[in-house]
Each structure stands twice: as C-alpha cells, then as structure tokens.
Structure 1
Amino acid sequence: MKRFSVVYTWRPSRIGVSEGLNVLLADLVKGLGVLGIPVRIYTTSRHKGGLEAMLQANQVPQTAFEIVPIIEGSLSLDWYYGRASRPRRRSRLLMRLSRFMRRILKPRSMLRSLSWMLDLSRSNIALKIWPLFLVIILTLPVVVVLLPGLAVMAAAALGGRWIGRKLRAAVSNVRGRTSKRLINALDRATSGRNKQISINTVFTYLSESVYRQECERLARALQNVEDDTLFFPAAFDGHLIANLKSKKTVVVFPDAVTAVFPTRYPANDFMSLLIWNVKRSVTAASGLICYSEFSKSEQLMRLLSGDNRDRKITVIPQGFYVDAAAEPISSEELNSYVRNYLPDLGDLPRMNFGHFEYLIYPTVDRPHKNSLTLIKAGEVLIRKHFLDIKIVLTSPGATPDVIDYIRDKKLHRDVIFMPSLPIKVLNTMLEGAAVTVHPSLAEGGDIFNFSRAVSNGTPALLSNIPVAREMFDRNGITKQTYESWLFDPFDADTLAGKIADILASRSAWVAQQKAVLGQLSSYRFEDMARRYYEFYCKV
C-alpha cells in the first residue's frame, strides 16, 4: 500500500491544538489510521516537539503516524518566534531609539544578504559562524558613526536637552553631506517605496528571508526521499513547494479571506508575504484540494489564471464529528486553562464552572473570525436582558478591537479566554455551554463547530455565510430547516435575540439539530481520508 507522506512546516509560534488547520490534519491522520494507510510526516527538528504535542492533544494514536525530522531547523527562527511570543515593554528611550533606527535599517538588500548567515542550525553553525565575525568587524565603522546619534538620544531621554542640542549640532557637522547622501541611497534601495520601515517590519522581512533559506535546505532533502508525491496540509509554503522540482505535490487550499474581503483587511507586510506564498503554492502544485465549492470558485480561481486553471482540482468536504460523551472535569482543572488577557484591570476571580451559563466560540481570533459581534451580543444579554451569562473564547490571542471593546465596556470578567484547549477539555466545555456561536465572516469549508457542539448536546448558531449554507444544502437539509440557525454576522442585537430564544426553549433546538446531525454523520473523517488518499494516488 502506498504511503501517505505529509510535509509539515508550520512555524512554532502558530502551532496550536485548536488551530483549524491543525485539527483537520489530526483528523485526516486519524482517518487514514482507521483505513490502515501508513502516514509519514516530514518536518524539521524545530517543529518536531510542537507537532507531536499537537497530534497528542488531538488524540491521534501514536501508531497512526511516523514523524521524520529530515533537517535541522533554523535556530534563528526558534529565537525569533520565541521572542515574538513574549510580552514586551516599551520605554520612552526605546521608542526614541526605534524612531532613530527606522531611518537607518531600511535597505532590504542589506537584510537579504544577512539571511544566509542567520539560517543557523546545529549542522551548519561551524561553517557559518565566521562570516558573522566578519560582519561585526566590517560594521564597526558604521557603529562608530552612529554612536554620536545614540548619545544624542540618550541625552534627550535623560532630560539633558541642552546637551542634546549641542551634540545634535556636532553630529550634523560630522555627518555632513556624505552621510545624507548615504541615507538617501539606502532609502532608494527599499524596493522604490517611500515609507518608513519599522523595527517589526525589519524582523518580519529578515525572518522570512531566513525561513526561505530553511525551505531551500528542506527542499533539497525532500528531493532525495523515496516518495514521488508529497502532501501539504496548507498552501502557505510557496517557496518550498516551488523548489520541489522532481516531486508531485498535493496542496490543500483552505481559504483566502483577503480574496473575499479585500478592503476589510489591509495588506500589511505579513499578509503580503502570506498571499505571495499562497499564490506560489497553488501555481506550483500538481493537485489542489479545496474544502468547499465556494472556496474553489470564489477564492482559488481568483488566484489562478490561464493554463493554471486546468490543473487537477477536487473538492473534499470535511468530516462530521459524532463525539463520545465528554469526560467530567473538575472546576479546579478548568480554571487552570483560564488566561487573563487584561491584567491591567486586575486579577480574575476563580470561575465556579457549573454554576453559571456561558456561550462558547471555539476559534483562533483573527479579524475575519468576528469575535467582536459575539461579545457585543453578550453585552446585550447581560445589560439589557439582565442575564447572568459569560462568553468563552478558546483563542490563544485576541485582536486589538476585541481587547479595546472589553476594556471600554468593562467586560473583562464576562469574557473568559481559555486558549488551545485539549480536545477532551473542549468537549467538556461544549457539553456545559448554553449555546455554541460561530460568528465568522469567512471559512474555507464546513463549520465543524456545528457537529462538535450538537454531538455534545449543545445547540449551535452559525453566521449566514456561503459555506454554512453549502454544508446543509449539499447534505439534503432543506432551507426551511436550517434557516433559523443562521444569523447576520454584523447584527449583534438580532444575535442576542436568537440566543435568548434558544435559552427559553433549549431542548427543542437540541432535538431538531440532533436529527439533522444524524443525517450528516453518515459522512465521517474516515470517508474524507479515503477521498484524500484516492486523489493523492491519482495525481
């Protein structure tokens, strides 16, 4: 039997057990295991630990897969993503230093030349360490030139305005026209864009350059494996996929919200890199899998043109959950998963789970996930309907608009964050919830929060988006049956009214949705895995 070979290169800072793409990969591996199909996952040494933890948390049997760390991961990227996950404090001095550095650290060409040296691993560090010393020696004169400027900023930060003015004048005389011409030349080297580049932009660009170096090393290693076809669970590794010249590649195109909402989400540096990688992936892939017809026709086709549209593309819907009864978990253990995202507003009291009602939204918060509408609806229920109810979000982070709204409306004790819950804990939380609400503006395929909630005896409300309607229509559920389960994702007041209606007749909603789940459950993750494997073998 042909082996199903997966390449997994998600970056450690984004590895989360509740991340949708990770959950779907875990369910695919479980389904292939049930079918007796061997699975090998190629990755790097820096991903291995997080990958194992993710599969274990999603209850994938260890006998169902084999992990092969085919190269040493870049130590530089481990440092960078570890740094990005830690909270940072910004002093006034650092803010002034940041503004100063924006004038200096502009040339992308200079950063690109550093990426090869910074792609360090245990196997190449001896070879590459000497150029770093050379760079340090060569940059010493530049540092000497910058020292007067740093002295100016330090003097200003310490309140020495008079000294600062004197030093500023001295620096201006020292630098003169030569330094100004140098800075102007560096400005022109930044891809022709007249804009300031922040320190975060520099790190983002530099980390991406190092990541591409790592991808090229990984591609060279993958060229030598015996597998003729490689499976990528997401289309985010364009540089890697494009470098696999001698292999056939099957790539999952999950979704591209920027293709549907181009004006709602501005294309910052990270998003531009993401879309660039997605475009390169779908163009280079031998075969493409979409989760829904909507994702294929309305999103994927916007990224493909001409002959590229004739490649092998298939739609394979996600399977439906029919989970076993949730295990009882103590309130004390549930409290261990609660995180305080607003420590400036004080400590959180111990939550007495089982003695209050709550709404739950299993998600990873991003702008298109639209958590804010649910929080606004919760506020209406609390302050207009006078209900003692809380909102539980499983996101390992929160968007700025969500944090600002919680702070402004003093909802920090009504919105509970429980990030990256293991599946057994998530099922327990779903079973105890009053309602599961999914207010997302866009998804790539079927909304598995519906089947997961209903199988645990909790009614579900879904935003009225195309993939939600497609999920029911494709399985023969009439519009009259499911229409009342959908809501306008921009209308918090109407959502609050629907939730209040469910709370008044919850058992009737559960009975109706369980009958529908009985129809949906004939298509399981084993069926999904079988279709993946058949397409994988055919490409």
Structure 2
Amino acid sequence: MKKTGIFLGFYPGDQLTIHGIGRLLAFIIKGSESSNIAVFYPKWLEKEIEDLMKEHAIDCHSLEMISTKHIPMGVKLRDFVKKRRSPKKRSLTLLKLENNFKKLFKIILTNYLSTPFGAQLILKTLFLFMVCMVATPLILLPTIVYFIIRVFKLTTKKTISLGKSFAFKSPIRILKKAIVGAQGRIYQNVLDNELIRLTTLINGRKDITSCYIPSMAWPQIQYIKCRKILAAPDIVFYDFPTQFSGVGDIHRRLRESISSSDKIITYSEYVKEQHLIKKSGVDPDKIIVIKHANVDMSEHLKVPKSTEKFITIREHAKQIISNHVNVNHGPSHIFYNADLEDFDCLIYSSQNRPHKNIFNLIQAVKIANREYQRNFKLIITADIYQDAFIADYIRSNNMENEIIVMHDIPSNLLAAFNCLASLAVNPTLFEGGFPFTFSEAYSVGTPSIMSDIPVVRSEIEDNLLKKMMLFNPFSPQAIAQKIIWGLENKDQLYYSQKQLYNKFNNRDWNKVSKQYSDVFKETVR
C-alpha cells in the first residue's frame, strides 16, 4: 500500500499544542485516512506529538509513528544546562503558606489592637512577648546565615567582576562571545544531523511515495528521494525586513527548502503572488492555495448529556478557568475566585513575534484605560515577559493587573477564555491566511476586531463590515478607539459577522483534508 510520509523536524521544546501549525497538522491528520499516513519525527519530539494527538482526540495507534532511535547527547546536555539556569518558580504550597501566615498575623494584630486597656491587655502583651522571645532565635539564626551567604556571593562576584575589568575586559568579552556563537552553531549542527538521519528512515521505505513537510525551516528535506510537498505559510520578513534581525541564515534555509520541493501549499493568494512568485521566483504551476476552515472551539466546552440541563457552556467555561487559576496561580491572581463576566476582557491568542504587534495592543489598552477611563483586561497567550522591553513597560505603567498572561494553555482553557471574553482582538501586521482567532472566538459567541491587512481585507466582501471590524494596526490610538466601539456594540458586531463566519464554515476540515490528500496523490510518481 502506498503511503504519504509526514516529516516533522520541530526543535526540542517546541510545544505543538500551542502553535497554529500544530493545530493545522492535527486537523489534516484527523481528516485523512490514517492507514495511508506515516509520521516521521526525531526522538525528542515524542512527548510533544503524543500531547498534540491526545488534545485533538487522535488515536496514535491508528497511525504509523516512526522516530529516530535516540536523543543526541548534545540535545540532552543543552536541556540539562537550560534547566540548571532557569529561575526556579516558587511553589504554590509555599505561596499559600505565606498568605496564611500574613492572614494569621493580621488577625493577631487586629485582635491585640482592639483590646481595651486593663488586665486583659496586660496578659495579652505578656503572652505575645513570651511568644516573640521563643520565636526570635528560630527566625534570627536562619536569617543571619542567609545574609552571610548573600554577602559572600556578592563580594565574590564583585571581586571577579573587578578583576575582569582591570586588564582582561576586552579579551574575556571577545572569548565569551566567540564561545556562545560556537555553541549555537554546534547545537544547530547537532539538530541538522539528526534531521538528516530522519530523511534516511523515509528513504528506506519503498511504500512512502510522497512526503508532506509542514515548515520551510528544514532544508534537510533535499535528501528525501520521494516527491516532496512543502507548506509555505509565509515569508514574513519580506514585508517587515527591519523587524527581523539576522535572517540571512534563515532565508538561506527557506530558499533551499523551496527549491528542493516538488509542490508548495500556501494559504492565501497574497503569499502565492507576493512572497513565492514575485520575490522567490517560484513557478506558479508549482503552487497550490488551500485556505483554512473555521476552528470550532465549542467542541472543547461540550458538557455530558446528563448535565446539559443543569450547566450551560458559559458555566462550564467558568469552571475550567476557575480550576486552572486555583491550581496553577493561587489567591494572588486577579482571576482567583472571580467571575470573568464581571470584567471587560479582551483576548489575543498569539505567539510573541515581532509582526504580531503585541506592544501596540498593550499601548492601546493603556490609552483606553487611562485616557478614556475604562477598565479593560487583556488576556494574552504569548509569553511576553520574555521580552524585557515589554515587561519593563508593563511594570513601569503598573499594568500587571490589566495585562493577564496565560501562556502555554490547553485548548479547553483557550476555548473557555474565548467564550467569556467580551471581545477578541488581533492587531497582527501580517498573516499568511485569514487568522484563526476570528473563528476561535466566534464559535463560542465572541465577536472580533482585526487589523486592516491584505489577507483579511480580501476575505471580507461587505464594506460596512470592514469599517466595523477593521482598524489601523500601526496606531495604538486607533486600536483603542476600535476596542471601545467594539465593546459598546458587541451584539451588533457579532450579528454582522455571522455571514463571514458562515462563509468559512462552508469549508470544514474534512474538505480541507481532502484537498491535501488530493495533492499528495497527484504528486505520486
């Protein structure tokens, strides 16, 4: 039996469940004939692939899953060093203990200060004095030891730093930079070699007549002997070259992948014409445009039939969020024991990339809350605190309770936040296809506002709807004003977007998967 291979070369630590490319891959596999699919991947991706299949209810046993035999030593060593360097998070138990201690201290202090003058006050004073006498050595000794260790570490660090700057500052800096650069290149070579091993596994299978590659980042596919179908979502730095530094090597890898492919699948006419034909010189006959279908998040909020009469989807969403916040964040979180319907919540499901335009959205929230006296909360799934500039901006403007980061969350939690948010906002400067965020929100009852960019404009035929839901993504003021309008007119906006949602709904994922399958069959020799 002839089969289609799927080549997955994602790097260690890439969590497929939170990436659009992962969800798209799951939709394609789910809608295809599983007996005709063989998934090839490096050993380090095993857990990530299992998590992706589990989240989308795909039986791994129904697919043929082939991995390399071992994880390379270089990858294990890198993971070990990364874990050692990562700051340790304070445990939830410790946070609860600290909060309970604070509460107890407040109760004791309040009780003492509320005591009237007299014998009772004298007795309480004596009792507290005795408690303090007993507790002081127990607290003081560890504190002294801690400060001695801290002073020693700081002194040692300062001495070393002084020594470095005295005569060897420039050589040490140059050597350190060279070592870091070499480490990066060596690690990349380790990963590349493992992906080459993966291509030999595919070449060893005579029944694999075509291979689908969902990313252009793996030029090792040039060694695959069967027909290659490459997904090309976009080459975003063609549109925003100044926002992506050091893309020379990335560009080389993309061009190598493109030149070695037999067919290219992209998601929009814009990317086909502007990125692939005009700027990459690809033969138009080599490119096929397959647009996305809607992403229906309501599937993740379904309740058992036995409880349908007693709990609504919105109530179920509240339970999902409450459980997550209670278990992972604790009493200090703004959503702890809170009802999201009491807030004006915005949601932006995204990764932290330069073209995702997150900073302008954060500025827009500040403008809306400060200048227009609103109280919006922005729920964002990107790990924005990894960006020092954005993190400093949030802290310096006291926006920690206005920008709520929910990074690395499962689909049912994403569905719950979309359901209870008042408005979905997508300020992206570029997308390869119509953004998933629209259908993710609309499918659970939430309207969207979006950037006025070519791939979005081309899909909205109603000029009045364009005016209602699109904004200039380069202007935080324009974004803020559209957010305010959208929240004040959310029912009208949701109703007006029904036709657009239905347009995409005519293309379910079974139809999309069939288009992919047809391409796989066409490319068989």
Using the size of structure 2 for normalisation, the TM-score is 0.75
Structure 2 residue 467 is the aligned partner of structure 1 residue 483? yes
Shift in alpha-carbon separation, 1:310–1:256, aligned structure 2, 3 A = closer
- 1:384-533 equivalences under 5 Å are 384-398=371-385, 399-472=387-460, 477-533=461-517
Q: Which amino acid aligns with 1:365?
A: N
Q: Distance in 2 between matches of 1:86 and 1:350?
A: 31
Q: Distance in 2 between matches of 1:72 and 1:336?
A: 38
Deviations 1:379-408 (A, max 9, x none): 122222222221111124543332222122
Post-superposition offset of 1:303:
5.4
| 1:133 counterpart residue number | none
Instruction: From 251, 254, 261, give the equivalent of 1:278.
Output: 254
Q: Which amino acid aligns with 1:527?
A: K
- 1:352-371 equivalences under 5 Å are 352-354=338-340, 355-371=342-358
Asked whether the 8 Å contact 2:5–2:202 carries over to 1, the reply is no
Deviations 1:213-249 (A, max 9, x none): 21222222221013021111111111x11122x2211
Q: Which amino acid aligns with 1:334?
A: H
Instruction: From 220, 231, 249, give the equivalent of 1:252.
Output: 231
Post-superposition offset of 1:266:
1.7
Deviations 1:21-67 (A, max 9, x none): 1111111112225xx66322111221111111122224444466332
Deviations 1:426-476 (A, max 9, x none): 11110100110011111111211111111111010111111111233xxxx
Structure 2 residue 375 is the aligned partner of structure 1 residue 374? no
Give ranges in structure 2 of 5+ residues lacking alignment.
88-153, 303-315
Post-superposition offset of 1:198:
5.1
Instruction: From 262, 277, 294, give the equivalent of 1:320.
Output: 294
Q: Distance in 2 between matches of 1:37 and 1:361?
A: 37
Q: Distance in 2 between matches of 1:442 and 1:64?
A: 37
Shift in alpha-carbon separation, 1:509–1:337, aligned structure 2, 3 A = farther
Q: Distance in 1 between matches of 2:399 and 2:470?
A: 26
| 1:102 counterpart residue number | none
- 1:151-190 equivalences under 5 Å are 159=159
Q: Which amino acid aligns with 2:15?
A: I
Shift in alpha-carbon separation, 1:160–1:483, aligned structure 2, 3 A = closer
| 1:294 counterpart residue number | 270
Shift in alpha-carbon separation, 1:199–1:493, aligned structure 2, 3 A = farther
Shift in alpha-carbon separation, 1:160–1:421, aligned structure 2, 3 A = closer
| 2:94 counterpart residue number | none
Asked whether the 8 Å contact 1:39–1:64 carries over to 2, the reply is no
Shift in alpha-carbon separation, 1:276–1:428, aligned structure 2, 3 A = same
Report runs of 4+ in structure 1 exceeding 6 Å deviation.
337-340
Shift in alpha-carbon separation, 1:58–1:406, aligned structure 2, 3 A = farther
Query: What's the % identity of the aligned pairs?
Result: 21
Instruction: From 173, 180, 183, give the equivalent of 1:203.
Output: 183
1:72 aligned counterpart, secondary structure: coil
Q: Report the number of matched residues.
A: 436
Q: Which amino acid aligns with 1:45?
A: K
Post-superposition offset of 1:2:
4.5
Shift in alpha-carbon separation, 1:367–1:87, aligned structure 2, 3 A = farther
Q: Which amino acid aligns with 1:77?
A: V
For the pair shown, the structure with the greater C-alpha radius of gyration is 2
Q: Distance in 1 between matches of 2:229 and 2:252?
A: 18
Asked whether the 8 Å contact 2:449–2:471 carries over to 1, the reply is yes
Shift in alpha-carbon separation, 1:286–1:195, aligned structure 2, 3 A = farther
Post-superposition offset of 1:417:
1.0
Q: Which amino acid aligns with 1:437?
A: V
RMSD: 3.3
Q: Which amino acid aligns with 2:218?
A: D
Shift in alpha-carbon separation, 1:212–1:381, aligned structure 2, 3 A = same
| 1:142 counterpart residue number | none
Asked whether the 8 Å contact 2:6–2:40 carries over to 1, the reply is yes
Q: Distance in 1 between matches of 2:494 and 2:155?
A: 67
Q: Distance in 1 between matches of 2:332 and 2:85?
A: 17
Deviations 1:365-388 (A, max 9, x none): 111111111111111222222222
Shift in alpha-carbon separation, 1:504–1:168, aligned structure 2, 3 A = closer
Shift in alpha-carbon separation, 1:38–1:483, aligned structure 2, 3 A = farther
Question: Which shifted more, 203-212 or 390-399?
Answer: 390-399
Shift in alpha-carbon separation, 1:79–1:51, aligned structure 2, 3 A = farther
2:71 aligned counterpart, secondary structure: coil
Q: Which amino acid aligns with 2:223?
A: N
Q: Distance in 2 between matches of 1:374 and 1:62?
A: 39
2:204 aligned counterpart, secondary structure: coil
Deviations 1:307-334 (A, max 9, x none): x536621111111134436351424323
| 1:536 counterpart residue number | 520
Asked whether the 8 Å contact 1:43–1:71 carries over to 2, the reply is no
Q: Which amino acid aligns with 1:233?
A: P
1:457 aligned counterpart, secondary structure: coil
2:291 aligned counterpart, secondary structure: coil
Q: Distance in 2 between matches of 1:161 and 1:425?
A: 46
Using the size of structure 1 for normalisation, the TM-score is 0.73
Deviations 1:259-304 (A, max 9, x none): 111122222xxx4332222111001111111111111121223553
Q: Which amino acid aligns with 1:404?
A: D
Q: Distance in 2 between matches of 1:387 and 1:12?
A: 42
| 1:118 counterpart residue number | none
